Amino acid sequence: MEDFALDTKHGDYLAFLGRITPDKGVDIAIEVARRVGMKLKMAAKVDKVDRQYFEQVVRPQLRDPLVEHIREIDQITKRDFLGGAYALVFPIGWPEPFGLAMIEAMACGTPVVAMDRGSVPEIIVHGKTGFICNSVDGIVRALGNVQSIDRKDCRRHVERHFSVRAMVDAYEAAYRKVLARH
């Protein structure tokens, strides 16, 4: 948590953080940015296995001034990148077991707008820390409501549920429950 400072101002760009791969929904993030007319900054690495996807699908989109690929970033740059964003767009196309990027964004106070897949409903509180969507149209609509999210609520949610202290407390409770049965 201490690596991610709260930024209470809504930024002026959409953030995408992760790997450039079809499963992460980069193409959807680009489409959404165009539809809402907002800059998309992608802090994302391209693994060797995804190089062809990047060259064929993503690189041609980089001619659009709304789409920027800033490559993989370090922790300090990540804090500023996420904190300065209007929202993190997380349009995953697979059941991701845990999206650390969502936690990191909310730790900075940045709401997350994500597809309803994998761990998304366990991490985002719909309407309070971001929006859980079922379609590209849903993401576009949700981005129109991001201003209603209190960025401090995003930070508080992460502190209560995903901080080291919260995780230790949850593990201790689970251990006590198991030990009580034996």
Give 32-86 pLDDT, tens digit per residue.
999 999 999 999 999 999 999 999 999 999 999 999 999 999 988 999 999 999 9
Q: Which tens digit of pLDDT belongs to each residue from 132-176?
A: 999 999 999 999 999 999 999 999 999 999 876 766 777 787 778
* 82: number of Cβ within 10 Å: 26
pLDDT of residue 102: 97
What's this model's pTM, rounded to 2 decimal places?
A: 0.90
Structure-token pair, residue 90: 């997380």
Asked whether the beta carbons of 152 and 8 are under 8 A apart, the reply is yes
pLDDT of residue 17: 97
Asked whether the beta carbons of 110 and 151 are under 8 A apart, the reply is yes
Categorise residue 17: left if φ over 0, alpha if ψ from -120 to 50, beta otherwise: beta
Q: Does domain 13-181 have CATH number 3.40.50.2000?
A: yes
Torsion of CA 123, 129, 130, 131, to 10 degrees: 70
